[in-house]
Structures are given as C-alpha cells and as structure tokens.
Structure 1
Amino acid sequence: MSIAKFTSNNRVTGWIVAALLLVHAGLLAYSATRHSPTLNEPGHLVAGLSHWKFGRFELYRVNPPLVCMVAALPVMAAGYEEDWGGFYERPGARPVFGMGADFIKANGERSIWLFTIARWACIPFSLIGGLFCFFWSRELWGNNLAGLISLTLWCFEPNILAHGELITPDCAATSLGLGAGYFFWRWLKQPSWERAGLAGLLFGLSQLTKTTWIILFGLWPLLWLIWLYFSKPQPKQELAPQVSFKTQALQLGSMLMICSQKTDPF
C-alpha cells in the first residue's frame, strides 16, 4: 500500500496529525524547562502582568500585547512578587528591561518556575501554526499527504522549536500570520462574507502579535488587485456564483478597517 493511499483515510490522518502535534508540544514543553530566560523574556512577562493589572500598555509597546498577556495568565494564577518601582515614562522610554531584572530579584529562584509556566501557556500558538500548515497544504495539493509533510516540517523545524518555547511574539506572529494568509487565500478563490469574516478575524489576531504584520494593510489590497488581474474565467459549468467588484472591495475593506478598530490596544 502506498503512503498516499494509506493517508487518504481521514481517520488515520487525524491520528497522525494528533501524534505529530503531541510530539511537538512535548519538545516545546521540555525545552521550556531546560533553557534559561532569554534577554527579552523578563521584559515581556512584566509587560503582560502590567497590562492585566493596570490596563495600560506603555511597557513593551514596540509590539502589540497578545502574546505577553497570554503568558502572564498562569503567572497571575500561581502568584508572584511585585516590584513596579522601575517604571518611568518619557519619549523613547524602555524601562521594561530593568523591570524584568527587578521581577527576577523579587521572585528569586521561583522566577524560573514562573517563566516555565508562562512559556507553556504560549505553546498553543505553535500548535495552531502547525494546523494551518496542514490545512493549507492539503487544500493546495488536494491530498492529506501534502498536509502531513508540511506539518512534519513545521513540528521539527529548528527555528519553530527555538521560538515556540519562548514567550516572545515571533512564533505566534508566524502562526497567526500564516492563518491570516490561508483564510485570505480562500477568500480570494471564492469571495463570501463568511470567508471575509474568517480572514478578518485572523487578520486582527495577527495584528495583535507583532508590529511586523502592519504590512498586511497595504499588501492584501495589492494582492487582491493582482489576483483579479491574472484570474482566468472558469468554464460555465464550473463557474461559482460571481461576486461583484464592489462587493469584494467592501468585504476586503471590512477585513482591514473593522478589525483594525477592534485590535488597536493603544
């Protein structure tokens, strides 16, 4: 039996996907217990804690707050010692690095455990990215094997393993940006309000991970126009109900503008 035929069984494929993601999560969880915090992680954790406690976003404002706020949740549940004395505000201020050091001093050796559980809270971001890899590849190539190959590469790719264990925004930005691209591509193929809504949701979430994705505000309209220019009419028997240019423009505008209003934390 060929591999392609074996993986054509959706139930078998589902078990393989689950096994790959379980191994991936295990590698990330183990790595999170073995590696000391990076230079940026204390600052990210302190920023997330401050966002929840004070409802303010001055700390680490060079990036949106989603990832550090998720990382802060288990730390708040476990309890921690506070020291906000290092905060100051002025143009270009970056007090968060000194406050990260103060956090470690205040919590002592227990800070290692707090960083570990904060890292564990961010593992789902990488798992979500793996699923988007699987679904997009499967839809592109029309078979489960393509999705499994992409998922396997994701689960064991060194950069994903390195960043997926951290509370920095890089892996989450990659995962949610990938998801945004996947749903935008599906909307391009067959525009509808449902697909526009899903693309807009992932667009908004990606904007909450890292400032890098601000490029999508200009890139998506450009890609849409290029897609319209190069799209070839399908045979009438295969032609799906057509969506007018104005309706597509309205859907795209809804993705970009409504979500940008909802996701701006500043």
Structure 2
Amino acid sequence: MTHIATLSGGKDSTAMVDMLLRHGRPLDHIVFKDTLHEFDLMYRYVERLSEYFRGRYGKEVITLKPEISFEDSVFGRLGERSETRQGWIRGLPMPIGYPCTWRREAKNRPFERWIKEQGITEYKIYIGFTTSEIHRKMAGDEFLYPLIDDFSMSETDCAAYLKEREMENPLYRYFTRTGCSFCPAQSDRSFFQVWKHFPKDWEYMKQIEAKLFQLERRGEKVQNKYWFSRQRTCADMEKEFKKADKQSGLFDFSDEPLKDCFCKI
C-alpha cells in the first residue's frame, strides 16, 4: 500500500504533512500540484518546505505539472460534448457554479498520469480537510482525513500549529485562503490584494481578458470572457479597488506580520 499526501502550501495541508511525519505515520510521497500560476511567494514557500522535509525527515516534495498551458486551455475550442457550443473558444473558468476546468487540467490529470507512470495500483491519499469540513469528505476507501479522524484539528488549530513553529506561508499576509493567483472562486477582497500587491499577476489577468474580447470582436464565439461574477471586467474592478484604496484601504488586513523564518522547527 502506497501512502500519498497532497500538499497545496496552504496552512491545513502543510500542518497535516508535518503532523504525519512528526508522528511517524506511513507516508511514501508528498505531492505538490503546480498549476503554473501560483504566486511567486508560494513557489518560494514550497521550496523551503521541501528543504525542511528533506532535511528533517528525508522526504522529497514531488512537483507535478500539467501537460498544457493555461492559455492552451483558455483559447482552445470546445468539443462535441458541448453540443450547441461546439467549436466555441473555451474562455476562462467560470466564476460561480461550475467545476474549474483549469483545476482538472492542472491538478487532477497530472496526478492521475503520475499514479499510472509510477505503477501504483493500491494507494491511500491523505487529504487536509479540517474538523469544520467533515461535510466535504469524499466517498472512497482511498481517502484519509488525518486532521479530522486522527488529530482533531480545526483551521484555527492548523494556523496556530504553524505560527508556533514560525513556518507560516507569507501569502496569509494578504489572503485568508491560497490558490491560483487568478482563482475565479476567490472573493473581491482577495482580488483587491492581487491588484494592490501582485501587479504582475493582475496584468496577466488583464492581458488574457483583452485577448478574449478581441477574439469576440473578430466574430469568434467565446464561452466566458469574465474573471468576475456579474460580467464585471478588470477595468470595472480597478475602479472599485482604486476607490476602496482611497477610503483607507477597505480590503486591507491589519494583522500582526506572519513569522515564516522556520526558526522553531
């Protein structure tokens, strides 16, 4: 039996992996699924985690990448399964109510391919759901939920665990959750942080949006051109963000700076 832990770099999965290793639980592989569009801070954090897990426990973090680029997905055409929209430009992942197409390409498929390439036939996957996420448990004997069933840890417990060891992800200075830099499921407050503190990522979003609108003007049919719900554009959001920023930073955090020096591990 092969035991695999999925590491996103968020507080829950990071605490879970460290707890598993500290308690000597069976763990053969630690897998980070790179969407190719994580924040630079995330890549540096995962690199530090990898060095730590390697040095302390002799465990490597395996990075999986998609076979296609995000642009390949966005500007690709819908196939026969789309019926009435066959041949349309796929466009951006839908902000609300639909499974994320890029998650499927960037996370699910690379993991399935890796399992097959490794010749792994029997495996257990550790999932970092906390005690407040019992309702998210998936059917299937292959899934294990140690934060719920073994360690009884909430999100607050996971945050405290990392804070005590001074190994927090610096992205939590800006966000309450982690994910792709352009994740359409994030809140307006999170997008404000992208606009204000991560201009390179925000500019990328604007460029992709502009290309889609340009294709539509040329007569192409595009399934979704909008990053944001209610068909709001990046220009619409910038107006809101600039107004909020002038009003004493409506979306700003005022938390104590995080400690990410890994000094107490």
What is the TM-score with the length of structure 2 in the denominator?
Answer: 0.28
Larger Rg: 1
Q: Which has the higher strand share?
A: 2
Q: Which has the higher helix share?
A: 1
